[in-house]
Structures are given as C-alpha cells and as structure tokens.
Structure 1
Amino acid sequence: MKLEKKLKVLPIILVVLFFSLSTINCKAQTNTGNQQQSKTINLAAPNKTKKDTLLPGITLPVIAGKTLHFRYFPKGDLKNKQNINGLAYTYQDFKWHIKDVNIEKDKGAWNCSFKIPKDCAFLAFKFYTNTENGIVTDTNTDNGYMYTPVSSEYRRMPGSSLAWGTFRNKNFNSNFGNYFKEFSASNEATEFWLKKEVKDNPGNLPKFIDTYINILKVRKPEKFAKIANKILDNFLNDFKDLSESQLITLKNIYQFELKNTKVSDSLHQVIANRYPKGIEMRSQAFMTANQLGDEANRFNKLVQFLKDFPNDNSVPKSQYFIYNKVYSVLFEHFFVKKEFDKAIDLLPAMNFVSINDSYHFTVSKAYHFKSVSTENLLKLSTPMIAELRKKNNDLSYMSGLYWSPNQATENANNELDRKLKVHIKILNDLGKYREALEAFSTLSTNQRYTDSDLNELYVSLLQQLNKDIKPVLEEAAKFNALTPHLTKLLEDEYNKEAHVNSDFNEYLAALKSANKNELTTEDLIFVKSPSLVFEDASGNSKTIMGKKDQIIILDFWANWCAPCKKSFPAMHRLSESYSENQNVQFYFVNTSENTSNYKEKAVEYFKNNSYSDSLLLFDIKSQNGPNNVTFSKFSTLFSSSGIPRKVIIKNGQIRYTSEGYSGNPSELTDEINNIIYLLENE
C-alpha cells in the first residue's frame, strides 16, 4: 500500500459515512436529585449577553482571549475550608490542557481570575482543597462549572461541540480527576456533538480522528471493525500533509484497535522515512536500548541512545519520561561504580523529576542502609540539592492532566523538602553544624517545624552552636510537633523566667492553639462498623462487643510498618492515661502480615518495649493470604488499605478514622483526646 499517494483533500463522503450510522435527537442529560432530566442544548453564539448565576462576575458568553474576574462561594464539602484552590480544564486546538485559577480569599467568598486562552473552545472549572484524607472538590454538585467560549466576533470556536460532547461522558472523561461522580451525557448525545463538529469543522478531522474512532467503537461495537476500516480508508485517501503525531495515532488505531498489522506496518515505514529522528523512532530506539538483561550492555546502549537522540527542544513533553529514565539509569550506574564525578556531570541535563528520583535511589537509600560513607554521600548530595533548588519550578511533574502547574510545583517543593531533610542529617553526622543549620533555613516555611524528629535535630544543632533554642521550641509547639524531650526543654526554658498568674500547661496550650485546627462534631461520622472479630496470640477467638456508650479505639498495625511503630509510644501513653476509665478501651490489632511467625514477632516487640500485651490482638488470617479478614472490611469502607489506621467506634458505629502518622506524638495525642472528649460529651 503506497500511503504517500493517498493523502488528499477531504470529500463530503467522510462526513456522510458517520452520519449514516444512526439518527438521534440532540438531548443533553443533567441530574436533578435522583431524577435524570433532558434539556436541549444550543451552543450557537448568542446575540445577547447575560450574567452568569453560578460564578458571579462572569458575563455570558465568555470570550476567548479575555480574562474572567468572578467570585466563588464554596459549597458542599468545601464550605468553611480555609485553603481553597482552583483549576481549569481547557480544550485548545483539539487538545486538553490543565491550568490554574488565580484565587484569593475575601471574607466568606473567593475572588478569582482566569485568562481564557485565545484558542480555547471549552473550559471547566474545579475548586478543591487538600485534606488529610485526600483532595476534596467542588464541581457544582456534579453539574459542572462549564463554559464554551466564543471568538471576539461571537463565533463558536473549533472544538466546542466535540469537547461539550465528550467531557460530560463517563466513557471519555477519565483523565479529569473524577470531575463528575454520577452525571454523564449519553453515548447517543456524544455522537450527536461529534457529528456536529465534523460538519462544522471537517478540515480539522485529523486533529480528533482518534476520538472519532473511539466514539464509533462505543456506539457501534458489533460493526466497529467494518465501519472503522472503511472510514479510515477514505480518510487516508482524502488527507495529505499529516503530522507525525497524527500518523502515529492512525498507526496505533490500526495496530491496537483493528489488529491490522499490514496497514500499521506500512504507516510505521512512512513515519520512519519522514521522521527518522522523530517521536516514533525515538520511542522505538529507547525500548530497544532499555531492555533488561546484561546491565553493561544496557548502559552502553543508553549512552548511544543519547548520542542518537539528544535531549533537545525537539523532544515533546509526552516523551520527557524517556530521558528521566535514561538519566536515572546512567546516574545509578555511575553511583554503583563509585564514579561520582561522572554522575555529577549528568546533573545539568537532568530535570527535577530525574534528579529527585536519582537522589532517592542512591543517596537516600544508601544513607538509610549505611552502604556508602557519609563523606561520599555529601559529595553527591550537595550538587544534587543545588540543582533541585534551581529546578523546582521546571514543571517536570506535569504529565497529561494529572497535575496543574501549581500542583506540580507544590509536589516538587514537597519532594525537595524530603531530600533536604536527608541532606541535613548527612551534614549533622559529619559535624558540619553551621551548614546543616543553613540548610534548615531553605526548607519550605510550612515544613520547617512540622516534623518532631527534625525539630529534635534542629534544637540539637542550635545547642551545638550555643544558640538560643526557645524560638524554635515555641514554633514547634505551634505546629504541635514536640517530642516529650522537646516539651521538657521548653518547660525548662519557660521556668527560667518569672511568670505571674500562669503556668507552663497554659503557656503550652496557648502556643498549640496558634495553628490548631480543632476537631468538632462535624468531623464525627456515622458508619456501621463491621463485626470486630479477632484473636489473641494463642489463636483464641476474641470478639469485641463494646458496652453501651463505650468508646473503642482500634489501632491497626503490622510488624513491617515503620510509621505504625513510630506512633506506638504516644498511643501507649494514651492507653495508659485511660486505664482507669472503663468507658474507653484501646486495642492494637496486628494485620496484613505475610510471614508465618508474625505473632511471635509482635509479642516480642511488645515485650521489648514494655507495652501491655493485654491490648494486643491479631486479625483473622484469610485463606492462603495475610491476616486481614476484618481489616479488609474496614479497607473497603474507607477505600484504602493503608496503615497505621485508627478507628474509633461507639455503639456499633464508626465515629472517626484516620490513616497514617504525621510523626508528631503530641499532635496524635491531642487528636485522639479530642475525639474521645466529643464522644463522651455528645
């Protein structure tokens, strides 16, 4: 097949082909409570303007290229949240993008601004906040904050119909971070908008031929192969000057959707001839070079790959991952060979993601296992930290529609903080206290005092340099990130001064209240608890029934879970403080173990740390699996199997739960105490 001769101008027959598939009415579905209603949608540019009622300040229709200024009033789960962000999904020249909304709090609402790109045909806003239990969002109670911009001449933008039809359909909107939970346009409606797009903008079909074929597959599964082959045959005869990415799209459709290797191979050859150093050949060369096996051979092939396909401006964002992987492999190779200078020479060409990954798998890992001297680790850590600080705004964490620019930068800053903590520990181990103290000052403000273990190190450095420790102790207290040792140091500092009509506990409570988000009855939940069936170390069954109004605290943990064990000192001090209170009962439930001797290990761990084994229980072992029969039921309820997991139950109802451990014992203690107080006084 000589495909080069088949790329000509679009005839009307291609549009007719799809229009012949079915005839439908244009009805867009919306949700009202549990009822689905239909309303006719007209995307034609209106002659008159009107005020938007969803986001006050917006005048409809919105104009591409203009800046929107509007007010956002939080609703649903975002009501009363302190830190709200906004983003927008935009459809530009038949491609999806994700962008940030400028947002600033103003009393009970938020002032927002967003510049609509000049080629934007559709946009949908999402508002969100980060919580301990994940991201909480508002998309207008599942109806969406959606707009179809028009040109300055009030003409519909190319792509508006297609975006409107696919964004709202669950079969085509999986990339938008669960924007809709229940709402979905029908496949029939999506087909209607696709046909309208083809009719209005037939010359742009090469830009969305993949969506065209996907909709065809959903609508006509029983005839898909026959119809798709006929449509694509006409398409290849009717278009010329296709870009490399468009040819790759066609090749992939033939190869993976239609299983037509003859045409896909022909297209591959066309691509190879036209673009010998392009996307397709770069991908093929990387897969060949990166094959596992002989590591020396793999290393040499990847070095040659960089020579054949340099990391330059011709590399599309979709292939950044290739170079992240190549540089990470080369860096780790030099690290293992102790050729540290060669590893350092790679850093200027690496982006934030590849340097961060390399730091984790070399410096952090080696420091944890003490497999490389701290002197050599510092030789690598110093230039790597410098490059990470220089590149933390390079947006290399942006991939597809997963993160907005602000989210990508925030993630980079969080990763930089994690690596800085390792770097500080290395400096401290080598007695470089001043350098370590300087590194502390480069931590993000919201991370500087939030880790109790790091606060211990911070105070130790200040003591080594004979500096005042009280300001750091007070800041640590404000973030509820004091260890018992730091609390004692702060009390000593407090007692050095005379105080009238106050004591240390009042002083400490006042400090903690500065950044404290007090738990309230709104944080309590009502979810029926699974039966609490466990066993003791001897294998005897133990079912926890709970007396009327008794508060039961379950701490799910495992021998292999470091954060679980790190939280134990605080949890056991808590259990001891309530030992005389028959209305409050703590249990430490071992779960999710895969070794045969997990009970012996758990009992020994409790004994070695002087923890009461009367509070130790074990989950029931599943058939041919870990001991997680009861915990798996909780995991299903919470959509997470992460541990440590605290579950607080009263009268057969789960009233509160939390996953993970911040590392701050005083924060954990206050959290559990607060929930117990609320439950005892409701």
Structure 2
Amino acid sequence: MKHLSAGLLLAVLLVFSCKKETEKVEKTNTYSMGDFELSTDAIMHNKPITITYNGEDKDMEGFYYMLDGYKAYPEDLNFKNGKATISIPDSISAIAINLKVDDAYLDNDKKGYLFPVLDNKGTAIVGSKSTMEAYKSGNGQNYGIEGDADVLAKTLEADITANPELKELWGTRYLSNVMRSDSKKGKALANTMLTEFAAKKDLTEDDYTQISTIYRNLRDAKGVDSISKIAIAKFPNGELKQQALMNDFYGAKTLDEKETIFTALETNYGMSPSLSYAANSIAAQKFKEGDEAGFKLYASKITNPNDKAGLYNSVAWPAAEEGKNMEMASQLSKASLDLLMQAKKDASNKPTYYTENQYKKSVDDSYNMFADTYALLQYKLGNVKEAITYQTKAVGDGKSSDVNERYIEFLMADKQYKLAAEKANLFLSEGHGTSKVKGFYKTAYTSLNPDATDFDTIISNIDKANHDRELAELKKSMLDEEAPQFVLKNLDGENVSLEDLKGKTVILDFWATWCGPCKASFPGMQQVVEKYKDDESVVLLFVDTFEDGKNREKDVTKFIKDNNYGFHVLIDGKVKDSNDYEVAKKYGITGIPTKIIIGPTGKINFRAVGFSGNNDKLKQEMDLMIDLLKS
C-alpha cells in the first residue's frame, strides 16, 4: 500500500490541531492533502468547502466522516471536473476526510486529515478534540490512521471536565474508554456514576440500561443480573427484557427452544434487526433438516432484502458444494441475486456506517459472491452455459483465485479453449491464479497448439514476472518499527521470549479457534512451517489471542492436535481488569488473522492483515518476505 506523506504541510496541520479551543481564527488558507487541495483550513458550520483534485488517477475517490462525540456519519465526496463541495451542519464538531489514490488511502503519516469545526466566531466546537481522538481509535484505523486509547481517555477526561454537558453525549462510552486506559481510574469513575444514579428519585429504563453497562465494565456479573431483574420487573416489555430474551435465544440448545423464544420476541417487540438475525438462524436450521415449509415461514419474516439474500446464499452454497437439494438451492440462489438487484435500486436499507457509494459497492460485491454460488449450482446441474454466464459476473475484478479457477473450469467443460487460455493467462499474469488454473491453461493451450513446445517457458516467464513484481511491492511496503518485547507461555507451559530470538526472522501469526479466516489459512501456514522447520534462522509463532474460556489451553491444544498442525503456539494473556490482550494490544492488533514479520534486526518489517483465500499465494508471500529479510 502506498502512503503519501504531506511533509512540511503536516506541520501546518499539527499546529492547527493543537490550538486551544478558545483561540480565534483570524485568517484562513487553502490546505493541501497530497494531490488534493482544501479551499480552507478553517472548517465552519454551513460554509461551503471545496476539495480539488490535481492528480492524474481517474479512479481516485474519497469520502468524509462528520463526527460528533463517538458518532460518525459517512458521506461521499462526489467529484465533478475534479471538484467536490461539502457543507457541515450545526450538529457536527469535527470532520475526517479520507482520500483514495492509486487504490490506497492517503494516511498523512498515519495522522489522517482531521479538522475541528469552528463556530461563526472562529472557536472550535466544544468536544472536538476528544471527537477526533475517538475517530483515530475507531473508524480511522480502517484507513491507516493510528489511534491511542490512552490519549483518547485523557483527552475525553479533559473535555468532559471542562464541559460537563458532554457527559450526556458520551454516556457509558466515557467509562469504557477510561477503563480501557486505566482500570483503577475507571473503577473510581464507575462508582461515581453508580452513586449519581442512586441519588436519582425515579430511574428511567435508559438509566437501568446504563447501570447495567457500568456493571459490565466492572465485570460484576452479579450486579448485572441484579439490576436486570429490577429493570425487567419495572419494565416487563422493555429493552433489558428484550436483551435477556435474545441472550436466551443465543444460548438455546434446541430448535424448539429457539422458536419459543423467537415467538415471545416477535409478539412483544416486532421484527427488529436483531430478530431478523434470529429468523435467519432458525430458517437455516430448518433448511438443513429438510423442513421446506418451516424454512419459508421464517425466511418470510425477514424484510430487509440484503438479509434475506444472505440467508438464501448461506443455505445454497453448502448445497452446491455437497451436491444435495440442488434444485431448491438453485431457486433460492437465483432469488438472492434478484433481491440484491432490488436492494441496489433502493438505498433505504443502507446501513448508517456506509456512504451511498460504499453501499452500492457492498451490494455489487455480494452479488458477485452470490453469482459464484448460482453458477456452481448450474454447473453441477448440467447447465454449463448458464454457469459460465453467471461466473463471468462472479469474477468481477478478477482478484479471487478460487472464483477464477471455477470460471476456467466451466469454460474448459464447454470446450471454450481459446477463451479459457486467454483468461487463464490473464489471471496467472496478475497473480490471481492457482495450480489448477495452470493445469487448465496447459490443456487449453496444447489443444489449440498441439505442436507447440513453449508452454513451460510461458509459465516460467509468468512466474518470474509475478515474483519480481511482488518482490518490488514488498520492498515498497517494508516497515521499520520497533517490535515490542514480550514473554508468553507455550502449550507446554514454557516461557518464550522475543528477546531470545533476536537475530532471527520471527513470524507472529495472531489467531483464534473461532476465527474462520485464520483456520482457512492454516493449510498454507503448515506448508510454511514444514519448509522452514530445519532452518534455525526462521521462527514461526502462532499467538492465540482474543480468546477466553476456562479450558482455553485445552481447547487450543485439541484443535492443533486434531488437525495435525506442527505449530508452536503461544497463549496471549489478558491484561488485568481489561478486555485487552497483552501482546495483541502491544502490536496494535485489531483483527485476525494478522501476521507480524520481525526481521533479524528486531524491527517489524511487514504487517499482513486478513487472508485472501489462496493458500498458494500465502505461502509464496511468506517465502518472499523471508527471502527478502535474509538478503
């Protein structure tokens, strides 16, 4: 990923951001953000602001968040002739502008482009500092921006101390942020808040909800249970009762129990979004059991077209893979595609965390994925041409190796050797092929050119070009960050210290037994382990994190043993009186799988988040990183 530094201009932003909230702005200037220019560096309510793009990327895009406390409202930047104009309403205290060029967000040296909003006197809106820090620690991390929980907690405390009216805006989230940074101070704040509630003569339902949340922050299960019982008795059809029923639903062991709880929820609260999830769960189980009438009943209760499409695809895909009940699965799969077409035309179901453009892209991505399901069903039902039609749509930008592989397979089955050879060459050349695609390519190529002897040379050249390109990209993405030291126990109870491994290349793979993408990547990581097991200069450590439970070590050990993985597993411990995990927090891990590659110098040189779904590619990437650090 490319990161564009604003250089000297960053200093301007820092100076501006650090002004006291009472300081008046006497003069405004344009502000540069790489190839973008903001018409003013003083953002004011209801004053139009123009963003101009002076670069050459035709596919550049951007959006901005309007911020108020912990709330973030995204809006598209709609550029016309290189210009986009926005206006900030009165309720907003800060904005964050996100700009994407060459398929990468500009992170401004990980500080982002954040601006407090000023009133008509040129004074920063109350609470804008904590609002911006909240964004950095939340949504901003999706765009390469660094947040700091301690800074957020201190800034929020200062803002609320100076402006007590902000307490209502932040509610119990204020406590959560303080608790995460300093548990001792958080406990004191929690007790103060409980005392304030105790002094009130008549508590509302919202008060009880907040008290329950305070006890959760204190990890006081008895307190949560006690206050919930009181609230439910006072508000028998209230929010806490609904939450308790949903908890019962998630904990129900039988389908009959789930249906009984569902009926109680639907009768008293109607079809809320959370109940749509419950209906989805029951419908999926009904389908699995062959209860077609039951499936249709609960599916009919889901009104959101995206949710219903998701249900249909979730039951159709396993049927496609297993070759069972494919006729009905085919009908449902086609219905999922029709529902998504409907959803794209009507943005009324757009989640608040999406801009309109992001929502449409999300629907398009879902359509491509669901088209892959429908195409596979058609292929297995013998409708090869129909399968090809929909797999062509599923391919999308061609970055999913598995989808590409099925497309080439369908073309080969239809004896479209010329197109199969062309597409296989394209996918392989762009680094989005598989070993099976190579096999299909060879068959297609030799069918078209029976006397040709240059196929191995073609593949060799493609492999070399991919290797060189990926190596160049890796070099550009290399980091040089301090690797926080740690000591963790492995499954044998032995201490493993990072300090003892200095001089070696160390790969930390952060994972959990509940993490699907983590487990999907493990066959590839097992190959990496096998390749380097006798190489003393390379160490792979699999850090189990974000995982709780009394039998955690036992469960992890069983998982590793059952799957015959030769992994050296470390157990990441929880930070005392916190929901954080020691090493994950030190390394800024917010999602798994995440791989941290530490070079022989002891510095973090690479950070890889997520899993593409291609184990061949994963292994190749690990090899390239290790080779690069060895050299």
The CA deviation string for residues 567-615 of structure 1, in whole angstroms up to 9 with x for no partner, is 767998xx6xx99xx999888889978456967974xx9xxxxxxxxxx
TM-superposition CA deviations, 1:272-326 (whole Å, max 9, x none): 8xxx8x9788767767887736633542553464455444xxxxxxxx5323223
1:173 Cα deviation after fit: 8.1
Question: Partner of 2:87 in structure 1?
Answer: 116
Change (3 A) 1:456 1:266: closer
- Out of 22, 27, 37, which is 1:42 matched to? 22
Match of 2:6 in 1: none
Match of 2:206 among 233, 249, 253: 249
Q: How far apart are 1:227 and its partner, in Å? A: 7.4
Instruction: Find 1:457's aligned residue among 406, 409, 412.
Output: 406
**What letter matches 1:69 in structure 2?**
T
Pick the aligned partner of 1:662 from 597, 612, 616.
612
Q: Which residue of 2 aligns with 1:90?
A: 66
1:374 aligns with 2:326: yes
SS of 2:38's equivalent? coil
Q: Hey, what does 1:21 align to over in structure 2?
A: none
Identity %: 12
Tell me how far apart the structure 2 counterparts of residues 374 and 166 of structure 1 sit (CA, whole Å). 54
Match for residue 64 of structure 1 among 31, 45, 66? 45
Residue of structure 2 equivalent to 1:609: none
* Alpha-carbon distance in 2 for matches of 1:567, 1:655: 19
Indicate whether 1:163 and 2:124 are aligned. Answer: no
Indicate whether 1:354 and 2:307 are aligned. Answer: yes
**Counterpart pick for 2:477 among 523, 540, 553:** 523
CA distance in 2, matches of 1:555, 1:254: 38
CA distance in 1, matches of 2:616, 2:117: 50
Instruction: Report if the CA contact (8 A) 1:556-1:644 is conserved.
Output: yes
Higher helix share: 2
Question: CA separation in 2, counterparts of 1:138 and 1:279?
Answer: 40
Look up the match of 1:504.
458
Contact 2:429–2:466 (CA<8 Å) still a contact in 1?
A: yes
Matched to 1:41, the amino acid is E
Q: CA deviation at 1:190?
A: 0.9
Counterpart position of 1:145 = 114
Given that residues 306 and 343 in structure 2 are in contact (C-alpha distance below 8 angstroms), is that contact kept between their aligned partners in structure 1? no
Could you say what secondary structure the match of 1:138 adopts? coil
In structure 2, distance between residues paired with 1:260 and 1:672 = 46
Change (3 A) 1:489 1:355: same
Distance 1:194 1:516 in 2: 52
Structure 1 residue 99: Cα displacement: 0.9
- List per-residue Cα deviations over 1:478-520 (Å, max 9, x = no partner): 3312333433543566675699999625763698599968325
- Partner residue of 1:51? 29
2:377 counterpart of 1:423: no
Q: 360, 363, 386: which one pairs with 2:316?
A: 363
**Counterpart AA for 2:209:** N
Q: Does structure 1 residue 436 correspond to structure 2 residue 387?
A: yes
3-state SS of the aligned residue for 1:145?
Answer: strand
Aligned to 2:277: 325
CA distance in 1, matches of 2:52, 2:510: 44
Alignment check: 8 A CA contact 1:128 1:136 kept? yes
Measured after TM superposition, the shift of residue 432 of structure 1 is 2.0
Distance 1:532 1:309 in 2: 49
**Residue in structure 1 matched with residue 577 of structure 2 by the alignment:** none
Partners of 1:139 and 1:310 in 2: how far apart?
46
SS in 1 for 2:393: coil
Write the distance in 1 (CA, Å) between the matches of 2:561 and 2:477. Answer: 35
1:596/1:343 CA distance change after superposition, 3 Å: closer
The offset of 1:388, in angstroms, is 3.6
Q: 1:303/1:330 Cα in 2 relative to 1: closer, same or farther (>3 Å)?
A: farther
Q: Give the alignment of 1:399-418 within 5 angstroms.
A: 406-407=357-358, 410-418=361-369
State how far apart, in whole Å, the 2-side matches of 1:665 and 1:254 are.
47
Which is bigger in relative contact order (C-alpha 8 A, separation at least 6)? 1
Greater mean deviation of Cα atoms: 111-120 or 283-292: 283-292
Contact 2:524–2:619 (8 Å) recurs in 1 = no
* Cα offsets for 1:135-174 (capped at 9, x unmatched): 9773675486223154xxx3789xx74432541566x986
Q: Which residue of 2 aligns with 1:100?
A: 75
Larger radius of gyration: 1
Q: How does 1:297-308 map to 2 (within 5 A)?
A: 298-303=258-263, 305-306=265-266
2 CA distance for matches of 1:656 and 1:280?
A: 45
Helix, strand or coil for the counterpart of 1:482? coil
Residue 192 (structure 2) aligns with: 224
The total of aligned residue pairs comes to 567
Q: Is the 8 A contact 2:488 2:571 kept in 1?
A: no
Q: Find 1:479's aligned residue among 430, 434, 438.
A: 430
Alignment CA distance shift 1:584-1:385 (3 Å) = farther
For 1:243, the equivalent position in structure 2 comes to none
Specify whether residues 192 and 362 from structure 1 end up closer, same or farther in structure 2 by C-alpha distance, changes over 3 A only: same
SS in 1 for 2:77: strand
**Residue in 2 that maps onto 1:314:** none
Q: How does 1:166-185 map to 2 (within 5 A)?
A: 166-168=130-132, 176-177=139-140, 181-182=147-148, 183-184=151-152
- Uncovered stretches (5+) of structure 1, i.e. residues with no partner: 1-29, 75-79, 199-204, 237-245, 312-319, 606-616, 625-631
Using structure 2 for the length normalisation, give the TM-score: 0.64
Pairwise CA RMSD:
6.4
Pair 1:62–1:291, CA change in 2 (3 A): same
Contact 1:648 1:657 in 2 (8 A): no
Offset at residue 125 of structure 1 (A): 0.8
Residue 69 of structure 1: how far off its partner (Å): 1.6
1:127 is the counterpart of 2:127: no
How far apart, in 2, do the equivalents of 1:212 and 1:520 lie? 40
- Normalised to the residue count of structure 1, the TM-score between the two structures is 0.60
Residues 598/284 of structure 1: CA separation in 2 closer, same or farther (3 Å cut): closer
Cα distance change of structure 1 residues 490 and 301 upon mapping to structure 2, 3 Å threshold = closer
3-state SS, counterpart of residue 127 of structure 1: strand
Q: The residue matched to 1:324 in structure 2 has which SS?
A: helix
* Separation in 2, partners of 1:284, 1:308: 13
- Seen in structure 2, the aligned counterparts of structure 1 residues 646 and 336 have a Cα distance that, compared at 3 Å, is same
Write the distance in 1 (CA, Å) between the matches of 2:415 and 2:360.
36
Unaligned runs of 5+ in 2: 1-9, 179-184, 216-222, 545-554, 574-581
Alignment partner of 1:191 out of 160, 166, 177:
160
Contact map agreement 1:68 1:116 (CA 8 A) in 2:
yes
